[in-house]
Every structure is written in C-alpha cells, then in structure tokens.
Amino acid sequence: MKKTIDPWNIGGFENYQMLLDEFGMESMEKFRLEYDELRYIRRGIIFGHRDFGNISDSIGKKKPFALMTGLMPSGAMHFGHKMVADEIIWFQKKGAEIFVCAADVESYLMRDVSFEQAREIAVKEYLENYLALGLSPKNLTFWFQSDYLPEYYRLRDMASKRVTFNELKAIYGELTPGKITSVLTQVADIVHPQLPELGGPRSVVVPVGADQDPHIRLTRDIASRLNAKREGNKQDLKCVPPSATYHKFMEGLQGGKMSSSDPKSFIALSDDPKEASKKIMRAKTGGRPTVEEQKKKGGVPEECMIYSMYLYHLIDDDIALSDIYHECRNGTLLCGEDKKNCAELVEKFLVKHQKKKAKAAKIAAKLVSR
Ligand code: TRP
C-alpha cells in the first residue's frame, strides 16, 4: 500500500528523510548558506521545501510575494508553535505580504473546539503572541475560516469541483466529512492571496511543520487546475502553485511528543515564568545515570531537551551554542548547572515577552474587529 501522512495524528513523526525520498519534497541544503540569517534555516531545522526557488527569486529581485500560513486554535501556543511565528516575522522583513488564518473550522471539526473558544484562543494565544514576537500589523491579513470573504468560499467550492475522492484517498488514506471540509478550506486558505481581489497571481510561501505536506501537495495539484474560468465571477483566476518550507518538530520536554494536551511536554508562551523554569528543571536531558559516569563519558546533547531549547530558540549565537555542546560532550558541563542556565534564560524570556504581549492586546483586538 502506498504510504500516507496523517496531518491530524503525527505520533512520533520523525522520518524526515522519507519525505525527501518518497514524497518529492526537496532538501533545503542548497539555500542554507544564502539564508543563514534565519536560525532555523542555518541549523537545518527547516530541512525541506517545495519551489523555494520562486521565493528566493522574489526576495532577490524584490518582486512582490506573499506568505500564507495558518494555526489551529486548540490550546496554548508553546515553543513548538513559536517557530512558525519567527518564520512569518522573518519573511515579513524580507518583504512578504502576510496572510495568517485562524483555522477555527478545522479545530471545530477535528478537535471539537467551539467557534467561540477558537476565537478567544486564536487572538489571546496566537495573534497577541505573534505581535509580541515582532510581527507588524502592517501588511497583515488575519482571518477566521468561519468568517471571511465570499470570494474565499467560492474558491473552496471551485477547489471541491477540481479534485476526486480517489485523489483525496490516495493522499490522506482514511477520510471523514470533517477532514474533507478542513482540507478543502485549507486549499482556499493557501490559494486565495492570489485572487484578483487580493493582489493577483504571485509567489506564495507557506511555512509549516512537515506534517502539513499532504495539504501542500494537494493544493499544488488543485492550483494548476484553477487556471480557468472562474464560475460566477467577473475575472478569471490565474495562480502560481504555492511554495512551502518545512520544519522539524521539537520533542516534548520529557522526550516523546510535544503535545498541546500534555502541559508537561511544553512551555507555553503564557506559562508563569517560575512554573516554566520548574518545567525546565524537570526536563529530560542527555545525561548519564551518575555524575562520575558523566564526567568520564560526557553527556549526549542530541538527546537533551535543554540543548534542543537552545538550538531552536534560546541561543542564536552559533559559537556560544557550540561551546555548550562541547562542554557537555567532554563532561565538564553537568546537567544540573545546564538546566539552571536554561531555566534562567526561559524565565527572562517569558517575563519580557509577556510584557510585550500585554501591550499587543489592543492591536490584536483592532485587527480582528474589522
Ligand atoms: N492545518 C493547519 C494545522 O493543523 C492549520 C492551517 C489551516 C494551515 N490553514 C492553513 C496551515 C493554511 C498552513 C496553511 O496547524
């Protein structure tokens, strides 16, 4: 049977190489040097892409391009989710027009979150955090899947008409009506920045976790079939197949999956800084059973959740990071001290961030009141 990826259930999804080998995703290696200013690209955390060449070209030639991505408002925004926020902000600085969708239809259908709850989570947890992290409200469209433009819903209908049930089954395996609606809505999310009403055909980059690739593949297929008469609309539609970047997932603080339903597995951006620091002190490390053994053999940063917090978020300076790596490896830096340093960094970050978030609340409210 052909392999499929289930974007709603990615238990222990780690086989990134398989995505490159079997699903036609391309390696990000080629762009690593050119875009090394973004930590996630420099460190290979953004490991794959589709058609990133289009985006690179737009950045290089200063041609208009857009970024579109979405969030599923089902729980707290944690450090795993922060990656996408940082990516959006970086692309915005590179000149992208930004489209961010709160996938409240998807969270209603797939996670049983009410529309009211989803709205609250999307604004308080996500939008305010994005703004606090540095997203500019200029050039930003933020919307809810359940409450948007008529043209967007017509686009979803057009997408529905241009795909067969067998194609969907080949991509997703098992399907439910809720999945089908979520998927077709996401196709509209990704394509709609290219509607004539919203800026017309141009390159659009979709930064996502690797689990979202099935949606990207489907959207790219459908996009090529949309270049046709737009039923019921004055202007025809033309669109460029969307580009995507794919990042790896952070593991949970205790090892295993970082999961919104298990608060011990993550640090939320809204966690009390002191509580967050305690979570760090309890995190899984790559340490040995005894201090003696660790001094002799050294620790294993590759298996350490503290190291992964540095790698993904807390230490941007490669030399500082490499120092820690080697001190751990050669047994001079022990886990207790390392955790304490990390806990301090997290605490400081959260205190500062939460002040910014409080200030962002007004701007967020204004953005969604339109
Ligand atoms: N399905 C995404 C998730 O589970 C959310 C989402 C909805 C999205 N629409 C999107 C992501 C468009 C990227 C592009 O998180």
Per-residue pLDDT tens for 81-101? 999 999 999 999 999 999 999
- Give me ligand 1 centre to Cα 330, in Å: 42
Same domain, 283 and 216: no
Question: In terms of residues, how long is the chain?
Answer: 370
Tell me what pLDDT residue 260 has: 86
258: in domain: no
Same domain, 135 and 273: no
Per-residue confidence at 235, pLDDT binned at 50, 70, 90? low
Mutate to test the pocket of ligand 1, among 130, 215, 246 (most ligand atoms within 8 A of CB): 215
Checking if the pLDDT of 12 tops 60, the result is no
Same domain, 230 and 343: no
| Cα–Cα dist 59/93, whole Å | 10
Same domain, 194 and 136: yes
Same domain, 167 and 91: yes
Closest Cα partner for 70 from 188, 208, 225? 208
**Residue for token pair 């294993």:** 300
Over range 70-85, report the average pLDDT.
97
For the CA of 110, the nearest atom of ligand 1: 4
370: in domain: no
116: in domain: yes
Checking if the pLDDT of 36 tops 60, the result is yes
- Give me ligand 1 centre to Cα 69, in Å: 6
DSSP class of 231: T
Same domain, 237 and 158: yes
Tell me what pLDDT residue 237 has: 81
- Give me ligand 1 centre to Cα 72, in Å: 6
Chain segment 37-61, per-residue pLDDT in tens: 999 999 999 999 999 999 999 999 9
Output the residue whose Cα is nearest ligand 1's atom 7. 70
5: in domain: no
94: in domain: yes
**Residue for token pair 């961030």:** 353
Contact (CB, 8 A) for 78 and 72: no
Per-residue confidence at 220, pLDDT binned at 50, 70, 90? very high
The two structure tokens encoding residue 203: 């390159």
Same domain, 296 and 147: no
Percent of all residues in the chain with a pLDDT value above 70, rounded to a whole number: 95
Output the residue whose Cα is nearest ligand 1's atom 8. 70
Tell me what pLDDT residue 232 has: 61
200: in domain: yes
256: in domain: no
The region, left, alpha or beta by phi > 0 then psi within -120 to 50, assigned to residue 348 is alpha
- Give me ligand 1 centre to Cα 306, in Å: 28
Output the residue whose Cα is nearest ligand 1's atom 14. 69
Same domain, 109 and 218: yes
6: in domain: no
Per-residue confidence at 108, pLDDT binned at 50, 70, 90? very high
State how many domains the chain has: 2
Same domain, 76 and 29: yes
Mutate to test the pocket of ligand 1, among 189, 206, 249 (most ligand atoms within 8 A of CB): 189
Question: What rounded mean pLDDT belongs to the chain?
Answer: 94
Per-residue confidence at 234, pLDDT binned at 50, 70, 90? low
| Cα–Cα dist 100/200, whole Å | 17
Whole-angstrom CA distances from 114 to 117, 182, 261, 369 are 5, 15, 16, 19
Per-residue confidence at 229, pLDDT binned at 50, 70, 90? low
Per-residue confidence at 228, pLDDT binned at 50, 70, 90? low
Same domain, 62 and 155: yes
Whole-angstrom CA distances from 78 to 240, 259, 358 are 33, 9, 17
Percent of all residues in the chain with a pLDDT value above 90, rounded to a whole number: 88
pTM score over 0.85: yes
Same domain, 190 and 168: yes
Chain segment 264-299, per-residue pLDDT in tens: 999 999 999 999 999 999 999 999 999 999 999 999
Output the residue whose Cα is nearest ligand 1's atom 4. 72
Tell me what pLDDT residue 261 has: 86
For the CA of 209, the nearest atom of ligand 1: 15
Checking if the pLDDT of 1 tops 60, the result is no
Chain segment 296-312, per-residue pLDDT in tens: 999 999 999 999 999 99
Q: Of 186, 215, 249, which residue is a domain's last?
A: 249
Q: Write out the H or E segment, with its range, that includes residue 293.
A: helix 291-297
CATH of the domain at 136: 3.40.50.620
Q: Of 198, 219, 249, which residue is a domain's last?
A: 249
Mutate to test the pocket of ligand 1, among 9, 68, 69 (most ligand atoms within 8 A of CB): 69
Q: Of 192, 224, 249, which residue is a domain's last?
A: 249
Tell me what pLDDT residue 231 has: 62
| Cα–Cα dist 108/113, whole Å | 5
Over range 124-149, report the average pLDDT.
97
For the CA of 8, the nearest atom of ligand 1: 4
Tell me what pLDDT residue 9 has: 83
The two structure tokens encoding residue 56: 């690179």
- Give me ligand 1 centre to Cα 275, in Å: 30
Tell me what pLDDT residue 11 has: 60
Domain hosting 297: range is 263-357
Same domain, 226 and 321: no
CATH of the domain at 328: 1.10.240.10
- Helix, strand, coil share (%) of the chain residues, nearest 5: 55, 10, 35
For the CA of 185, the nearest atom of ligand 1: 9
Pocket of ligand 1 (CB under 6 A): 68-72, 101, 103, 106, 186, 189-190, 206, 208, 212
Chain segment 185-201, per-residue pLDDT in tens: 999 999 999 999 899 99
- Give me ligand 1 centre to Cα 334, in Å: 40
- Give me ligand 1 centre to Cα 298, in Å: 41
